[in-house]
């Protein structure tokens, strides 16, 4: 059976509709392209949205779900079901136990956040890949358990706590080889009719027996894009993004003047997800206009390649938790100070609070969630400008009343303005769309959480990365436990 490129997925689906879909798919490579391919596949396998709600199951090895669970579920028949799809994210089937330090840092972060089950799953996964023994880790022999140098292992003594949790709860490592062998056998035996596994992985080693088995019994979809700096690699990156842009513009009936692609690429770099979002922004910004210009790009798209902190605050405002967490790790690794990140979060939440205050006011009733940009420009923006002026005037009068006699008036606090640049309304429109993702009580709660995080960062000695990650969780997912200092299972 075939091994195809991601760009050929639609042709593959049309071919399968005339015959039959394969029981197993391996989709590997760039995460954004993988997501697009998997979404298209799921829609083809379960065309009815209600069927997708009932008969699509997602498992992630990093969240405690894995190969053995997937095998059991895929072979469980459902009465009157049109079919079943298991989406299994388990890149570990094709990886080794390398880069142990980074994996251990991830385990520590999750452990300190209080997610014992996930931390245990990640630890057991690493232990299996390093071919270590749980008993050694429980006894404190971290070097022996994870095959590390003694000096390197000394700073990981806390892992014994995680190992102890695993032992107490009857959790033991299952080797990647065992999991890969079990899946290989299951694939070769076959699944019930109309049952499919979509295996999602960062990478895939063509030399493994599992890869060869999937290639024989199913389909492998390659979403790998070369990320090097050589000309051939950069040309391929540009081709990938150019196809994405043309597809989106065609879908909306748009054309582009020469130079549009180059200008977007200059501002985003090779970031398929960010590039796609930028192209969608352009489409909505131009409204009914059929042609997109370089000037439109300059008006709409921030230089996220140069200003990654804006991408971070944008992810926070849009409640994209996973993206926000990834930005925290990337920004800290690239030299940003943790207080810079906290300050950026405070500024973003302040903006959302001012917008929510406006929409809750009498003047703000002109805003309707999901309103078009044209309607925003003509009806909402004039009221925003009036609101800004009235707010600044109120603050000025208050400050004058409170200031000592003869004191020089302070400058107007422009950070309270919704639209600091009224002639460029599109960023303001985006801010309103983001604010609709939160309720006013959630924004008020976020202000309190930001203040608490500020105190933790300045006084407790806790890991700044852990504090910031917990803050993102607590803002984007309000049901996150408040205690970041002591996981519930350690109390």
Domain C-terminal end among 168, 186, 208: 168
Does the pLDDT of residue 64 top 70, yes or no? no
Give the confidence band of 461 by pLDDT, cuts at 50, 70, 90. confident
pLDDT at residue 322 in the model: 82
The predicted pLDDT at position 54 comes to 87
Say yes or no to pLDDT of 50 above 60: yes
Distance of CA 411 to the CA centre of its chain: 39
Residue 314 lies in a domain: no
Token couple for 35: 């997501």
Q: Phi/psi zone of residue 253: left (φ > 0), alpha (ψ -120 to 50 degrees), beta?
A: left
Task: Identify whether residues 164 and 181 lie together within a single domain.
Answer: no
Q: What is the pLDDT of residue 446?
A: 93
Q: Is the pLDDT of residue 51 over 70?
A: yes
The H-or-E segment that residue 26 falls in is: strand 24-29
Residue 202 clears pLDDT 70, i.e. is over it: yes
Residue 14 falls inside a structural domain: yes
**Residue 491 binned pLDDT confidence (cut-offs 50, 70, 90):** very low
Q: Is the pLDDT of residue 305 over 70?
A: no
Based on the domain organization, do 269 and 325 belong to the same domain?
A: no
pLDDT in tens, 362-377: 888 899 887 888 888 8
CA distances from 401 to 389, 391, 397, 406 (A): 18, 15, 6, 12
Read off the tokens for 170: 């009857």
Residue 26 CB-density burial (10 A; 0-12 exposed, 13-18 middle, 19+ buried): buried
> Of 27 and 407, which is predicted with more confidence?
27
- 467 and 344 housed in the same domain: yes
Q: Which residues contact 22 (CB under 8 A, 6 or more apart)?
A: 1, 16, 196, 217, 218, 219
Q: In this structure, what are the phi and psi dihedrals at residue 432, rounded to the nearest 5 degrees?
A: -65, -40
CATH code of the domain covering residue 290: 1.10.8
Q: Please say whether the dihedral angle defined by the alpha carbons of residues 189, 190, 196 and 201, taken in this order, is positive or negative.
A: positive
How many other C-beta atoms can be found within 10 angstroms of the C-beta atom of residue 327? Answer: 24
Tell me the β-bridge partners of 25: 198, 219
CA–CA separation, 217 vs 201, rounded Å?
Answer: 18
Q: Does 324 share its domain with 461?
A: yes
d(CA 241, CA 268): 11
Domain-located, residue 484? no
**Among 424, 385, 432, CA closest to 298:** 424
Q: Is residue 312 part of a domain?
A: no
CA-angle at 406, arms to 404 and 408, nearest 5°: 90
> What average pLDDT does this structure show over 17-34?
89
d(CA 281, CA 279): 5
How many other C-beta atoms are found inside a 10 Å radius of the C-beta of residue 214? 26
Res. 177: pLDDT tops 80: no
- Within this chain, do residues 430 and 471 fall inside the same structural domain, yes or no? yes
Domain boundary pick from 306, 337, 365: 306
Give the model's pLDDT for residue 447: 93
Q: How far apart are CA 431 and CA 367, in angstroms?
A: 12
- For residues 114 and 258, state if they share a domain: no
List, for residues 243-301, the tens digit of each pLDDT value: 999 989 998 999 999 999 998 988 888 888 888 888 988 988 888 889 999 999 988 88
Please check whether residue 488 lies inside any domain of the structure: no
The two most distant CA atoms of the chain are separated, in Å, by: 88
Considering the domain architecture, whether residues 133 and 265 belong to the same structural domain is answered as no
Facing residues of 198 across strands? 25, 87
Q: How many domains does the chain have?
A: 4
pLDDT at res. 486: 33
pTM above 0.75, yes or no: no
What are the tens digits of pLDDT across the range 382-406? Answer: 999 988 888 888 777 777 777 676 6
Which domain, by its residues, includes 328?
A: 319-402+412-479
Q: What is the mean pLDDT of residues 317-323?
A: 86
Q: What is the pLDDT of residue 37?
A: 93
Residue owning tokens 């992630």? 60
Distances (CA, A) of 404 to 265, 391, 400, 401, 409: 53, 22, 8, 8, 10
Asked if residue 486 belongs to a domain, the reply is no
Separation CA 374–CA 481 (nearest Å): 41
Q: Is residue 95's pLDDT more than 50?
A: yes
DSSP string, 342-392: HHHHHHHHHHHHHHHHHHTSSGGGG--TT--HHHIIIIIHHHHHHHHHHHH
pLDDT at 178: 72
CA neighbours closer than 13 Å in the CB half-sphere of residue 136 = 17
Return the CATH number at 351.
1.20.272
Please indicate, yes or no, whether residues 211 and 324 belong to a single structural domain of this protein: no
Tell me if 55 is assigned to some domain.
yes
Could you give the angle at which helices 31-45 and 9-17 cross, rounded to 10 degrees?
A: 20
Instruction: Please report the pLDDT score of residue 257 as a whole number.
Output: 93
> Does 73 share its domain with 200?
yes
Q: Per-residue pLDDT for 223 more than 80?
A: yes
pLDDT interval class at 488 (50, 70, 90): very low
| pLDDT, the chain, mean | 82
Q: Looking at the structure, tell me whether residues 106 and 87 fall in a common domain.
A: no
Whether residues 189 and 330 fall in one domain: no
Residue 281 · residue 312 · CB < 8 Å: no
Backbone angles phi, psi at 283, to 5 degrees: -60, -45
DSSP reduced 3-state for 149? coil
Residue 313 lies in a domain: no
What percent of the chain has pLDDT above 90? 26
Question: 349 and 301: one domain?
Answer: no
């Amino acid at each position: 059976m075939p091994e195809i490129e991601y760009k050929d997925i639609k042709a593959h689906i049309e071919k399968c509709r005339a015959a039959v879909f394969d029981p197993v798919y391996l989709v590997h490579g760039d995460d954004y392209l993988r997501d697009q391919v998997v979404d298209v596949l799921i829609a083809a396998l379960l065309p009815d949205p209600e069927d997708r709600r009932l008969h699509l199951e997602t498992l992630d090895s990093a969240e405690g779900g894995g190969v053995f669970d997937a095998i059991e579920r895929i072979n469980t028949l459902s009465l009157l079901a049109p079919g079943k799809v298991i989406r299994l994210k388990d890149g570990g089937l094709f990886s080794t136990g390398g880069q142990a330090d980074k994996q251990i840092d991830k385990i520590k972060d999750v452990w300190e956040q209080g997610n014992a089950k996930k931390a245990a799953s990640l630890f057991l996964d690493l232990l299996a890949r390093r071919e270590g023994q749980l008993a050694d880790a429980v006894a404190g022999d971290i070097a022996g358990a994870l095959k590390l140098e003694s000096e390197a292992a000394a700073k990981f003594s806390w892992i014994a706590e995680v190992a102890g949790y695993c032992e107490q709860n009857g959790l033991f490592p299952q080797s990647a080889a065992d999991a890969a062998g079990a899946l290989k056998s299951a694939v070769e035996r076959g699944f019930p009719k109309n049952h499919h596994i979509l295996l999602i992985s960062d990478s895939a080693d063509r030399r493994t027996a599992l890869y060869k088995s999937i290639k024989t019994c199913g389909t492998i979809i390659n979403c790998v894009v070369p990320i090097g700096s050589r000309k051939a690699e950069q040309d391929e990156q540009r081709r990938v993004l150019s196809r994405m842009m043309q597809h989106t513009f065609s879908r909306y009936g748009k054309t582009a003047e020469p130079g549009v692609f180059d200008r977007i690429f200059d501002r985003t770099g090779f970031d398929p997800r960010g590039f796609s979002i930028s192209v969608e922004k352009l489409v909505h910004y131009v409204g009914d206009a059929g042609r997109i210009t370089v000037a439109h790009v300059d008006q709409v798209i921030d230089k996220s390649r140069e200003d990654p902190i804006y991408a971070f605050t944008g992810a926070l405002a849009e409640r994209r938790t996973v993206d926000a967490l990834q930005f925290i790790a990337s920004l800290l690794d690239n030299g940003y100070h943790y207080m810079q990140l906290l300050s950026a979060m405070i500024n973003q939440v302040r903006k959302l609070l001012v917008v929510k205050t406006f929409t809750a006011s009498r003047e703000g009733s002109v805003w309707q969630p999901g309103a078009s940009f044209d309607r925003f420009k003509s009806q909402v923006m004039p009221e925003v400008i009036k609101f800004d002026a009235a707010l600044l005037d109120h603050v000025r009068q208050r400050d004058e009343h409170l200031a000592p006699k003869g004191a020089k008036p302070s400058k107007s606090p422009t950070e309270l303005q919704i639209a600091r640049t009224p002639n460029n309304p599109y960023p303001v429109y985006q801010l309103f769309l983001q604010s609709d993702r939160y309720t006013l009580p959630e924004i008020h709660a976020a202000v309190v959480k930001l203040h608490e995080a500020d105190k933790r960062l300045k006084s407790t000695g806790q890991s700044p990365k852990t504090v910031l990650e917990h803050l993102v969780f607590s803002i984007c997912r309000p049901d996150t436990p408040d205690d970041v200092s002591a996981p519930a299972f350690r109390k």
